[in-house]
Structure formats: structure tokens, C-alpha cells
Structure 1
Amino acid sequence: MNKAISVDQLAIHGGDPTVKRTFPWPIFDDQDVQAVADVVRSGQWGNPDCGDAVATFEQQFADYCGSKYAVSCVNGSVSLRLALIACGVRPGDEVIVPPYTFIATASVVLEVNCVPVFVDIDPDTYNIDPQKIEAAITERTRAIIPVHFAGLSCDMNAILAIAQKHNMRVIEDAAHAHGAEYKGKKLGSIGDAGSFSFQSSKNLTSGEGGIVVTNNESLYQMMNSLRNVGRLPDGQWYDHFNPGCNYRVTQLQAVLLSEQLKRLDEQTRIRNENGLYLDQLLADIEGVTSLSRGDVALRHCYHLYIVKYDKTKFGYIPKKEFVSMLAAEGVPCSAGYPHPLYKQPLFQQKNWQCYAIPDSVAYTQVNCPEAERACADEAVWIFQQAMLGTRNDMESFAEAIRKIRRAMLNVVESGS
């Protein structure tokens, strides 16, 4: 029988935390420092007029993903934008997106003068629900952006079948999904294009940056031009053929990413194995449910490890309070998004200044109940750097949750 725990023993009230270590991120060593220092000393910092580090990394990352081409750029938001424009969306077109993701997935749609259409998530995975996609398709729908949220693959077979049926482009938002796989294929390499972020929290990082991969040569050529002020490889420096901008990364970022890429496979293996182990540890704790990995072969890269929290099994303490308790116990965690994207002021107040979006478009009546439930009551995130810990660390995460639950149930039983 579990020993009773008093509220005073919780770390948030001054007790000893369950987790005794921290989980630093990013991880680097002297080789990373030396690679960047070598570029600094060379004085060849720019792109494309200095050095070949950017082209080298692009080829390395394309090869890693199993794609033919890769185009690096300043961040993952821009990489989505490049992919959308190259895929041929036109002002007023509709693009299907999930409501449970970072704002950029939808805001870049507005930036290209298109209309985001929100489709609810699957409650078992928090990824876009394929069964709800077709009901959202109209004659204006041109693309879908499935987000491999937290590093878990969407149901790509179902999504690709729908896209083919309706002649839609598929742009994978793989900002969380470096190194993850679906049926033996790296995420990002499955649709028409795949967008990644190298922002500081990401599983592969250079502080900022992004990249988009594709197997389509015409998409590659257009994206390559757009990120380089509309230039073409055979044109003059001051010849501009497409409406692009300077979205280039530097040699400094590229060499750092090349060094970080050497670690990615091993780090992904560790995160995936720890995620599977933590699933086992949490299976017998009432009130927390791990998200499903589905029934297909995949590798999860756990940019986030997400559990669904049920306050009725924790003495009815709200999710926000539970997360504060868990963080105090030493588990790197968050309550995640406070509300779905369509409830952001950007959408509620129509603050988009996009000439091609009809006045009839409004988001005040949009309702995606699964996303709303995830935001308000259920989703608890454990951060990716914590998933690089040991099996003992995973056991301590589970024990922290048990400790909180025992204390809360003890409060209920004592009537205090």
C-alpha cells in the first residue's frame, strides 16, 4: 500500500523535490565551439557569397530526411511560408490547419493572404483528426498543413489519400519532429514539402533558423529563389525574378547545425525509448493518460511528452495547479497552450489586414471541443530535454506524479 503523503511534504510547500537534477539544453561540446570559432576567424560569415557551410548542411539534412532537396531559412515560420507560396496557393484560398499548435502554423496562412480553416484534433494523439478533414474542404481549399505535434506522426496515409482525392497540397509542419518516423520514412519527407524549426527549444537547434525539405524540383527551385530575394542560380546578383526576400541563414548557424546533427539520431533513440518506458510507468497511475502512438510503425522524437490529466483523480485540483506542483517536484513541464489558435485575438478580432480574406470569414463561432479540452483541462507537457534523461529519471517523473496524487487524495480523505 502506498504511504500517505501530506500536502506539507510536497515541494511546492517546502518539501524535498522528487527530481534531484536539472536537464540542460542545448547540449554542446568543444567541437561545436571550435566549428563556430573557425568560421568566425575566417571572416566568411555570410551566405551565399562566403563559404559552403550552408550548402553542406542543407545536403546533410536532406540526406538525413531521405529527401532530394533542402532550403534553409531564418526560422520555421518562414519555411512554412516559402512552402505555401511555392505550392501555388493564391489570395483567398483556404488552407486546413489544426487549432492545437503554435501560432505560426496558421498565421503564415494569413501572411500569404489565405484563409486558415481549423479542423479539430484526435483526442488520443492531439494531431489533426483525419476523419474531420473532408467536412472542412470547399472549392477554395488548396492545401493542408498537418502538424506532427510533440514529435508524433500524424496519420499520413489517411491525409495523403484525402489530399490526392481533392487535389490538395500537403505541407508537413515538422517543427517538433526532427528525426521522427512514420512507416520507415522521416517526417517532413512524406508530403509535398516538410518544414522544420531550429529555434532554441527544438530537438535540433542553432538558436534560430528553419529549413524546408522536398522531393519536388520545381518546389525546390521556387523556395530557393524566394529565400534569396527572388534570385535564380543562373541570374545576375541584381536580377530578381520572384517576390522573395532575404531569408538566408549564416555560415555560423550552418556549421553549428552540422555539429548538432551528428547527435540527433542517438538523442532521438533515447527520447523514444524513454517515452515508451514512461508510458509503462504511468499506465498504473489513475488520472494521467499517455497519448497514443497509434498502431503503425513509427519513431516518436518526443519534443514533448504529453499526458492527459484528469483532475477528478487528483482531488479536483485544476490543471494549472497540478503543473505548478509537478514543476516544483523538479519535472520540467508546462500546461501548454491556454486556448486553441482560433481564440487568439488575431482571429477573434480579425486583426489580419489581408485584402483577399472575405468579410464573411469569422472565427468567433469556431468550436473544436477536443482542442479546447486539451488546452483548458487535460494537456500537460514534459519538455524534450527531460526525455534525454536516464530510466531512473523517468521513474522519478512517475514518482513525482504519484506523490502529488497521494497528497491530494489524502486531503480529500481527511476532509481538510
Structure 2
Amino acid sequence: MKEHLAINGGDKSITKNFPWPIYDEQEVEAVAAIVRSGKWGNPDCGDAVEKFESEFAAFCGSKYAVSCVNGSVSLRLALISCGVKPGDEVIVPPYTFITTASSVIECNCVPVFVDIDPETYNMDPKAIEAAITERTRVIIPVHFGGLACDMDAIMDIAKRHGLRVIEDAAHGHGAEYKGKKLGSIADVGSFSFQSSKNLTSGEGGIVITDDDDLYAMMRSLRNVGRIEGGQWYDHYNPGCNYRITQMQAVLLSSQLKRLPEQTQRRNDNGFYLNTLLEKIEGITPLKRSEEITMHCYHIYIFKYDASKFGGLSKNQFAEMLTAEGVPCFKGYPHPLYKQPLFQNKNFMCYAIPETADYSQVNCPVAEQACSTDAVWILQHAMLGEPEDMEAFAGAVRKIQLAAI
């Protein structure tokens, strides 16, 4: 049977391509119209930017939205606006992209890593409670892969301890928790429009909020510290030019029209793929509670048990699955606190105390997810047809049969 595997020269299980991004002449013409107008900048002629911000805020059910150059900057704008001071602690998960934690460093604050729930790979509320100190100011839950965190529990903890909450919804465009769009539940929601994201303009980011003061500060920081009604060369806050262009804005407006249907398709395919994979011994889809009223599956994640696949390591299995034509990835090699940035404390910041020793951090669930358990299927594959989900599950079975 091993010779039938694609990695050994056999036929691939899936030969279909899953293109991303998806676009047509609507996007091409929208960008071309801006180019022809000669009005490319923002804010000197930023009507398209303001239009997209209004559209995205309405889509999320929020009062305000402030666009910016990327999802890393959007987190920084949110943190500064929430009033963090040098040396403050910010609680973050270890199983996420680096900027959830590095944005904290850039604000001269201390990232405090708490472990993830083994059933969801999202921040474990019990671990949050145990990590709070007198220096804690903000919690940043990450809706990893587009799966909503337990926001009721997190918001309750924050309220009892007087903390701000910033939702890192870089993976969460269009997903919902109890019918509310991700990013709209906490004090601030932060999104990315990087090229792999479910809503993309190649690069870009945005923050959403219902808070008037947070909005005013984030808008000022994004625009070189200027304030509403102030003079052009009056700068009130330590901001920078983090503005997006008109071309990005019209591209995002066009892509936003596609997002509801795409999100529903990803959601439905995720439900279906769960039913297929949970029948395969050694494969466990992540838990999806009833509170998750819409999952956007920026990453479809399942847990892999090597003992049911003849001892194949996770990395070997992921390589075989990729060879079969499934757009998949083995995930992060290790939790964030094991990155050289944290192990070497290469922070270039003055406010992080010597007691912040990341060599002693241990989050067992995140460690296991990285080393042996977590396998990802990428979002563009979740825009396929039901028969594609069947083919993905078939490829997993094919590998298992060949391995045992």
C-alpha cells in the first residue's frame, strides 16, 4: 500500500487547485478607477478609506473602525489606546502568530503567556485567572483559526479585575460568538488583511470599537498624532503614519461583498469535514461549542494521534497529506515563548524587568500541539465543494491504511 501514496510516486488524492485570493473584473476596475483618478493618498483624498471603514464597522456591528497598515500595528494602536504604561503586564496565548506578543513588547509592556484549552486551542480562561497580578492591565484572547474564544468567561474575568480586553481577530473575519461578530465583543477588536487572511488587500489591518475615547485615540495614533478639528501640523499624541491607501480601501470594499457567502461556505464545509474526520481513529477535530454560531475556518485544525498511524510523526503525516494534494501545514514548531526573541530577551525595551524569565515558561498543551498533535488545513481549501471535504478525509484514510 505504501507505494500508492503520492509521496512515493502514486496518484494524488486531490488534483484540484484552490485559488486565493478570489477576484474578478470588479476588483480590477475598482483599483484602476483610483489609479486613473490620480487621487491615491489618504487622508488628503481618503473618501474610499472612510467608506470602507464605515462598511466594515457596520458588518461587524460596531460603532467605529480605524484602518491601518497591518494587523501588527492594529494591535499596537489598541494597546496604547487602552492606556498601558511601561512595565504593565498583558496576558496572551503562546499558540498564535508572533505579533500578538511582540506588539506588547513594542509598547514596553510584559507579555504573560497562559496555556490554551486542549479541546479548542484557544486561551484557557482558568489559566487567565491564575496569571493576573497587580500589574496586569490587558487580556488579548486570540480567536485562533477563526474559532471564537470563550468570551463570556473572559469578559467576566476582565470585569471583576478591572482589565481591558482586546480581541485578536486576525483569523476571525465574519465568525460569530452567540450571534455577535468576533472583534465586536470586547473593548477593541483587531483584524489583519494580510494576503492569507479571509479578507485581504495583500497587507492592511483595522481596529473596531464602540468606545468614543478609544476610537479618538486610535484614529489619532494612526494619523501622526493629529486630532479631529486640529491643525494639520499640530500633533497631540505619539502616533505615526499608519494609514492605508485608497487602492487598498476599494479592494477591501469589493472583497467584503464576497465575505458573507465565503464565510458561510467555510462554516458548512467545516461542519461536514468534522463529521468525516471524527470517524477516523486517531483524528480529532477541535471542539466547537453551541456558542459558536459561525466559524470562518481561517485554519481548520485537527488533532493527530501518531499511535493510530503506525507511529508516523506529525511532520511526516503532514508532508504525506500535502503530497496527496490537501493544502495543509504542520503548524507552529514551538510556542511563542520558545522563540529566540523571548529566550534571548532581545527586547530593546527599558521597562521589562529581569524577573521576566521566559526560559522557565511551560505551557504543556501548547507544547503538545506544536510538537505532536496539531495539523492545519488552510482557509482557501475550505472554499471547496462537499466532495472536496470527502477527498480530504479520503486522503487521511489512505495514509492510515498505508501506515498500519
Structure 1 length normalisation: TM-score?
0.97
Q: Is residue 115 from structure 1 mapped to residue 100 from structure 2 by the alignment?
A: no
- The 2-side partners of 1:121 and 1:211 are apart by 25
- The 1-side partners of 2:129 and 2:118 are apart by 18
Look up the SS of the partner of 1:298 in the other structure.
Answer: coil
- The 2-side partners of 1:359 and 1:121 are apart by 26
Question: What is the deviation of 1:295?
Answer: 3.3
- The 1-side partners of 2:278 and 2:118 are apart by 17
Q: Deviations over 1:76-107 (max 9, x none)?
A: 00000000000001000000000000000000
Q: Deviations over 1:316-339 (max 9, x none)?
A: 010000000000000000001000
CA contact (8 A) 2:148 2:292 kept: no
Q: Is residue 82 from structure 1 mapped to residue 86 from structure 2 by the alignment?
A: no
- The 2-side partners of 1:364 and 1:207 are apart by 35
Q: Is residue 132 from structure 1 mapped to residue 132 from structure 2 by the alignment?
A: no
Q: Is residue 289 from structure 1 mapped to residue 289 from structure 2 by the alignment?
A: no
- The one of 29, 49, 52 equivalent to 2:47 is 52
- The one of 358, 368, 378 equivalent to 2:363 is 368
Q: Where has structure 1 moved over 4 Å in runs of 4 or more?
A: none
Look up the SS of the partner of 1:364 in the other structure.
Answer: helix
Identity among equivalent pairs (%): 71
Look up the SS of the partner of 2:248 in the other structure.
Answer: helix
- The 2-side partners of 1:144 and 1:57 are apart by 28
Q: Which residue of 2 aligns with 1:256?
A: 251
CA contact (8 A) 1:173 1:194 kept: yes
- The one of 142, 146, 171 equivalent to 1:147 is 142
**One-letter identity of the residue aligned with 1:160:** M
- The one of 240, 244, 248 equivalent to 1:245 is 240
**One-letter identity of the residue aligned with 1:221:** A
- The one of 159, 162, 181 equivalent to 2:157 is 162
- The one of 316, 333, 336 equivalent to 2:328 is 333
Q: Which residue of 2 aligns with 1:381?
A: 376
Question: What is the deviation of 1:359?
Answer: 1.3
- The 2-side partners of 1:51 and 1:378 are apart by 46
The within-5 A match list for 1:15-414 is 15-409=10-404
CA contact (8 A) 2:147 2:292 kept: no
Q: Deviations over 1:275-305 (max 9, x none)?
A: 0000001111011110001232421000000
**One-letter identity of the residue aligned with 1:59:** S
Look up the SS of the partner of 1:32 in the other structure.
Answer: helix
**One-letter identity of the residue aligned with 1:355:** Y
Q: Deviations over 1:248-275 (max 9, x none)?
A: 0000000000000000000000000000
Structure 1 unaligned segments of length 5 or more: list them: 1-5, 410-416
- The 1-side partners of 2:201 and 2:136 are apart by 35
CA contact (8 A) 1:153 1:298 kept: no
Give the length in aligned residue pairs. Answer: 404
- The 2-side partners of 1:297 and 1:110 are apart by 31
- The 2-side partners of 1:360 and 1:179 are apart by 40
Distance 1:51 1:113, change over 3 A: closer
CA contact (8 A) 1:54 1:249 kept: yes
Q: Which residue of 2 aligns with 1:413?
A: none
